[in-house]
């Protein structure tokens, strides 16, 4: 896409991760949560190099020249890693020390700990180590995201010799808490090994030790071959994932240049992106930092209970629509929807989509019970949900054994919709439905902000049944007669055109002098035609307010292009995840929610479902939540025309939206 009107999506994503990193620097965030934000930043970056960088490396190889986006990416990442080190070493570690906790990140290990570390090494660590001399193996395969210590040895002949030692974090904790002389020390597993490295190389002088980590391409190779069962195909590919092409070698500074040719040859990493890091890598492990005291974490925010009458939830839904806002409100209502469906005698059939299934899913258990209770249960499990493939596959097998009919999407398309449908033996309301912006996953619902609509609206749910019937047939969109949706907005059928039409209507209203305006909340914004439509609306005088958490390829605030568009990004204790769309419609606002971002993948390579909110009380409630978020001047930042995070000017009225939404919902109840 031309740079003059679009921001590169990879650069934009890195600015989002920069915003996550800056939360770790905030003095208003409890120190344990700041360590968690460092962990999230590191985990995000690992995934970026597994998913986003391989295509950039391939593009560079095709063009046969360096520079371009990959060079910009590497420059930004290097600067961010320097900032990461500063935040950890100069801000967080001194504050921990003030609280009597000595986190040994760059400091040397005190002699007073030697005896305890030696005991730990021999009793806990030593049996898990596999030192390898480079000159004794033809090649060495470095596992994905596995931590290693590169050891430079000096032989008796005064020659240098290289060896590699694994750091067994898949078995042992990354951090150990040790008490000595009235102080609390937190030490890396890496440094326990390093302190005792001489044990592994008797008779050799250890000249230096450096930490390294390899990140590998995570893409699964799924061709359009429908002869092989997709579940079997994914199972085979998962076994190969961690053996993919390396996309990054992260290394501790100081490795002598004379050793690099041997290192790269031994690891077979000649064309890999080399990224200079700090002393320690894999700092996503900070999520497990051994600091459990409540005073160091966010205050507990107990999810609000959803008040229901004396009747069942299913009966309540027949009387009026119900909306749940997670994690502010308890997810029990969603679990209850499936639990009641499993035993309710009027429910004959259950249909649902599952994209990321919880590890111990109560929803899956309810579906299994429903099938065993004689109900027809059809579940579309998306096996291609990245990094959840194995868990989804395991649950598919369990449900299938219990009599649940399992449907998988075709190889070339993902079903990303978050919907469920109950078909009942009921004269006037044969369907009850659940439509959501986030996964049907009680685990992620604790820290993802999402919205769930429970409805008995027959017009909406008849269209949802039509979609499920289509998905069961496993036909490719476009290879059959187009389904007609009047209420639902479904990618592959009407989503792209519908949103373009809604934007055009706001343009027409603005030009006619009628009330107009667009408020959109998304995770990511990339698709060019929709962005151009927003530019056109801005030029026509439509005021457009956008809440975009992650990638934003739109350039806001440019005269003659987007002067009426503002974009805000919010990062706080919960991950902003809901997708909401409000169009002023000449003074009669329409609101939609759904699973779809405005990304190329969502619109052209997935089945997504967005849906209208018709009940006036819920439209008002959702609008007020959007308005609170738009006023956020504590955790919100503006995005400028280069995609950079810019502070929001504060006044005496401080608005931290996630806190105020909780208070608003508390008062409403």
d(CA 439, CA 422): 18
* Residue 463 scores a pLDDT above 60: yes
Q: Name every residue whose Cβ is closer than 8 Å to that of residue 600 and which is 6 or more positions away in sequence.
A: 526, 527
For 333-368, give one letter per residue: b (16+ CB within 10 A) or e.
Answer: bbbbbbbbbbebeebebbbbbbbbbbeebbbbbbbb
For 140-157, give one letter per residue: b (16+ CB within 10 A) or e.
Answer: bebebbbbbbbbbbeeee
Neighbours of 203 (CB within 10 A): 8
- Average the pLDDT over each of 95-109, 119-133, 243-257, 539-553 and give the range with the smallest value: 243-257
d(CA 393, CA 230): 10
d(CA 58, CA 71): 13
Strands 405-408 and 376-381, by their bridges, are parallel
- Average the pLDDT over each of 67-76, 342-351, 353-362 and give the range with the smallest value: 67-76
Q: What is the pLDDT of residue 143?
A: 86
Using alpha carbons only, give the angle 519, 573, 570 rounded to the nearest 5 degrees: 30
Give the up-direction half-sphere exposure of residue 482: CA atoms within 13 A in the CB hemisphere.
10
Distances (CA, A) of 202 to 111, 115, 116, 127, 600: 22, 19, 21, 16, 57
Q: Name every residue whose Cβ is closer than 8 Å to that of residue 205 and which is 6 or more positions away in sequence.
A: 153, 154, 155
Q: What is the pLDDT of residue 7?
A: 96
Annotated catalytic residues are 416
Which stretches of 205-296 are assigned E, i.e. beta strand?
Answer: 205-216, 246-251, 273-276
Contact 619, 322 (CB under 8 A): no
Q: How many residues does the chain have?
A: 669
Using alpha carbons only, give the angle 582, 585, 591 rounded to the nearest 5 degrees: 25
Q: How far apart are the first and last CA of the chain?
A: 47
**Mean pLDDT for the stretch of residues 378-391:** 86
* Residue 271 scores a pLDDT above 80: no
The per-residue pLDDT of the chain, averaged, comes to: 91
**Mean pLDDT for the stretch of residues 32-36:** 97
Q: What is the DSSP letter of 476?
A: P
pLDDT of 134-168, one tens digit each? Answer: 999 988 888 888 999 999 999 777 789 999 999 99
pLDDT of 163-188, one tens digit each? Answer: 999 999 999 999 999 999 889 999 99
Q: What is the pLDDT of residue 50?
A: 81
- Average the pLDDT over each of 18-27, 57-66, 644-653 and give the range with the smallest value: 57-66
Of the chain, the percentage scoring pLDDT greater than 70 comes to 92
Contact 260, 134 (CB under 8 A): no
Annotate 366-406 with DSSP letters as a single string: HHHHHHHTT-EEEEEE-TTSTT-HHHHHHHHHHHHHTTPEE
Name which residue leads in pLDDT, 64 or 143. Answer: 143
pLDDT-derived band at 276, boundaries 50, 70, 90: confident
Q: What is the pLDDT of residue 4?
A: 87
**Helix (H) / strand (E) containing 621:** helix 616-630
- Average the pLDDT over each of 105-109, 140-144, 178-182, 472-476 and give the range with the smallest value: 472-476
Which stretches of 253-411 are assigned E, i.e. beta strand?
Answer: 273-276, 322-326, 347-354, 376-381, 405-408
Q: What is the pLDDT of residue 235?
A: 55
pLDDT of 317-327, one tens digit each? Answer: 999 999 999 99
Count of H-run helices and E-run strands, the chain: 20, 28
Q: Name every residue whose Cβ is closer than 8 Å to that of residue 315 and which is 6 or more positions away in sequence.
A: none
**Mean pLDDT for the stretch of residues 569-582:** 98
pLDDT of 203-226, one tens digit each? Answer: 889 999 999 998 877 565 555 444
pLDDT-derived band at 473, boundaries 50, 70, 90: confident
pLDDT-derived band at 62, boundaries 50, 70, 90: confident
Identity of the highest mean pLDDT range in 18-27, 110-119, 401-410, 648-657: 18-27
Q: Strands across the sheet with 160-167, in order?
A: 132-133, 160-167, 147-154, 205-216, 246-251, 273-276
**Helix (H) / strand (E) containing 519:** strand 518-522
Q: What is the pLDDT of residue 103?
A: 95
d(CA 511, CA 503): 13
Contact 259, 267 (CB under 8 A): no
Strands 273-276 and 246-251, by their bridges, are parallel
Contact 220, 234 (CB under 8 A): yes
Predicted TM-score (pTM) of this structure: 0.91
67 Rama class: left (phi>0) / alpha (psi -120 to 50) / beta: left
pLDDT-derived band at 228, boundaries 50, 70, 90: very low
- Average the pLDDT over each of 62-66, 308-312, 626-630 and give the range with the smallest value: 62-66
Q: Name every residue whose Cβ is closer than 8 Å to that of residue 166 and which is 6 or more positions away in sequence.
A: 128, 129, 130, 146, 147, 148
Q: What is the pLDDT of residue 476?
A: 59
- Average the pLDDT over each of 17-21, 348-352, 471-475 and give the range with the smallest value: 471-475
């Amino acid at each position: 896409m031309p740079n003059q009107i679009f921001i590169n999506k990879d650069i934009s994503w890195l600015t989002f991760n920069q915003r996550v990193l800056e939360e770790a620097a905030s003095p208003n965030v409890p120190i344990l949560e700041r360590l968690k934000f460092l962990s999230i930043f590191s985990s995000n970056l690992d995934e970026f190099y597994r998913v986003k960088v391989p295509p950039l490396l391939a593009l560079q190889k095709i063009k046969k020249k360096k520079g371009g986006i990959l060079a910009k990416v590497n420059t930004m990442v290097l600067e961010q890693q320097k900032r990461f080190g500063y935040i950890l070493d100069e801000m967080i570690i001194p504050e921990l020390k003030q609280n009597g906790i000595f986190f040994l990140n760059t400091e040397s290990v005190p002699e007073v700990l030697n005896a305890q570390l030696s005991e730990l090494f021999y009793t806990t660590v030593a049996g898990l180590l596999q030192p390898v001399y480079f000159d004794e193996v033809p090649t060495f395969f470095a596992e994905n995201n596995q931590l290693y210590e590169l050891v430079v040895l000096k032989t008796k002949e005064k020659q240098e010799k290289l060896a590699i030692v694994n750091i067994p974090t898949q078995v042992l904790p990354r951090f150990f808490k040790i008490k000595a002389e009235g102080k609390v020390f937190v030490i890396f597993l890496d440094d326990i090994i390093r302190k005792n490295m001489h044990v592994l190389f008797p008779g050799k002088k250890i000249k230096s030790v450096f930490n390294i980590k390899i990140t590998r391409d995570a893409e699964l190779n799924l061709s359009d071959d429908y002869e092989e069962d997709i579940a079997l195909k994914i199972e085979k590919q998962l076994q190969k994932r961690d053996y993919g092409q390396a996309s990054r070698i992260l290394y501790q500074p100081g490795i002598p240049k004379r050793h690099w040719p041997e290192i790269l040859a031994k690891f077979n990493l000649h064309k890999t992106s080399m990224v200079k890091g700090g002393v320690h890598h894999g700092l996503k492990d900070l999520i497990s930092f051994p600091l459990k005291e409540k005073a160091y974490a966010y205050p507990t925010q107990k999810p609000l209970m959803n008040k229901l009458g004396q009747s069942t939830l299913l009966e309540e839904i027949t009387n009026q629509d119900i909306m749940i806002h997670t994690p502010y409100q308890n997810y029990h209502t969603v679990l209850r929807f499936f639990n009641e469906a499993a035993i309710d005698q009027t429910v004959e059939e259950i249909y649902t989509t599952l994209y990321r299934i919880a590890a111990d899913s109560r929803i899956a258990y309810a579906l299994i019970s429903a099938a065993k209770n004689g109900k027809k249960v059809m579940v579309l499990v998306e096996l291609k949900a990245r990094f959840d493939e194995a868990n989804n596959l395991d649950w598919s097998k369990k449900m299938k054994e219990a009599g649940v009919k399992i449907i998988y999407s075709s190889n070339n398309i993902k079903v990303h919709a978050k919907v469920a449908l109950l078909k009942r033996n009921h004269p006037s309301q044969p369907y009850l439905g659940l439509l959501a912006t986030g996964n049907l996953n009680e685990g992620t619902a604790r820290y993802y902000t999402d919205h769930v609509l429970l409805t008995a609206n027959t017009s909406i749910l008849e269209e949802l049944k039509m979609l499920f019937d289509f998905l069961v047939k496993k036909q490719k969109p476009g290879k059959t007669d187009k389904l007609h949706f009047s209420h639902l907005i479904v990618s592959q059928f009407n989503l792209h055109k519908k949103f373009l039409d809604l934007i055009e209507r706001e343009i027409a209203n603005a030009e006619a002098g009628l009330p107009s305006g667009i408020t959109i909340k998304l995770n990511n914004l990339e698709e060019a035609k929709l962005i151009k439509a927003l530019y056109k609306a801005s030029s026509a005088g439509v005021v457009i307010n956008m809440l975009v958490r992650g990638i934003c390829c739109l350039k806001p605030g440019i005269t003659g292009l987007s002067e009426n568009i503002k974009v805000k990004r919010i990062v706080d204790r919960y991950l902003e995840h809901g997708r909401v769309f409000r169009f002023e419609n000449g003074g009669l606002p329409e609101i939609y929610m759904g699973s779809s971002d405005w990304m190329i993948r969502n619109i052209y390579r997935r089945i997504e479902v967005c849906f209208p909110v018709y009940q006036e009380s819920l439209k008002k409630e959702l609008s007020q939540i959007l308005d609170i978020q738009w006023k956020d001047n504590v955790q919100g930042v503006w995005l400028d025309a280069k995609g950079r995070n810019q502070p929001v000017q504060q006044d005496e009225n401080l608005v931290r939206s996630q806190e105020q939404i909780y208070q608003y919902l508390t008062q409403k109840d």
